[in-house]
Amino acid sequence: MSSTSSPDVVRSLTVGGRTIRVAVRQGTDEDVPPLLLMNGIGASLEVLQPLVDALDARRTVVRFDVPGVGGSPRPVVPYVLSTLTPVVAGVLSKLGHDEPVDVLGLSWGGGLAQHFAVQHRRRCRRLVLAATATGSLMVPAHPRVLARMLTPRRHRDPAYARQIAGDIYGGTMRTEPDRAAAALHANTRVGPKRGYYYQLASSAGWSSLPFLRLIRQPTLVIAGDDDPIIPVVNARVMARLLPQGRLHVYRGGHIALITEAQELAPVIERFLDE
């Protein structure tokens, strides 16, 4: 990472009746397409800071809190992925990014990113899908892991996050659970519990399997070989079905993009710079 990167500018924008808290790190090179980050479930945009810090300072990075999470007020009415993507597109327009951007989706955000790539194909140049899958039609996690994903407690209770980190996140979290608690709780803003449940419900029953073939953008699928939430076989399936998909399997777990950002950021950079 270059030490000349500018600090993030954080503000709230209202699009289509929804108010979204957005952070923008302005890049040093306007010729490099901006990178839009879509976060995992229940996580505020601050959780992605290690990844932003590890990315090249040339690249503008945009991230946001989904409704009801972090600093975005909870939605008046529930939403689904297909109604949230136009809001995200509107946020980009308000920020002055009408040209195609690169999109990276982590975990739950990977579902939103897949939807965005199809619904707004002219706005998405390249796609990175990290620790994510095809939704309800996938090789599922162990029921014990799924049960722990049904509550936002790990985002609210650092001691609980340490206790379950190895079981649900895998990778280095098995031996260093304190790092999971730090990653989820460093400077994070936790929204109302209801925001987590809205986010969970927004993708209930959703699957990208029927439309994976419509994702025409060059797509990098990144997966850990020890991810209890999204077993790595899902990434292999996705990479095979995506018309321009390719796979990078790393040694590690579900949140390595945050905890091992320095190792994975160069993989992402190489793909985006091709």
Task: Please name the helix (run of DSSP H) or strand (run of DSSP E) that holds residue 9, with its range, or none.
Answer: strand 9-15
User: In degrees rounded to 5, what are phi and psi of residue 126?
Assistant: -135, 155
CA 196 to chain centre: 15
The answer to whether residues 7 and 25 touch, using CB atoms and an 8 Å cutoff, is: yes
Per the DSSP assignment, residues forming a β-bridge with 63 are 23
Distance CA 113, CA 103 (A): 7
Distance CA 191, CA 1 (A): 30
Distance CA 241, CA 114 (A): 13
Catalytic residues: 107
| Residue 105, both tokens | 């989706």
Distance CA 173, CA 171 (A): 5
User: How many other CB atoms are there within 10 angstroms of residue 274's CB atom?
Assistant: 7
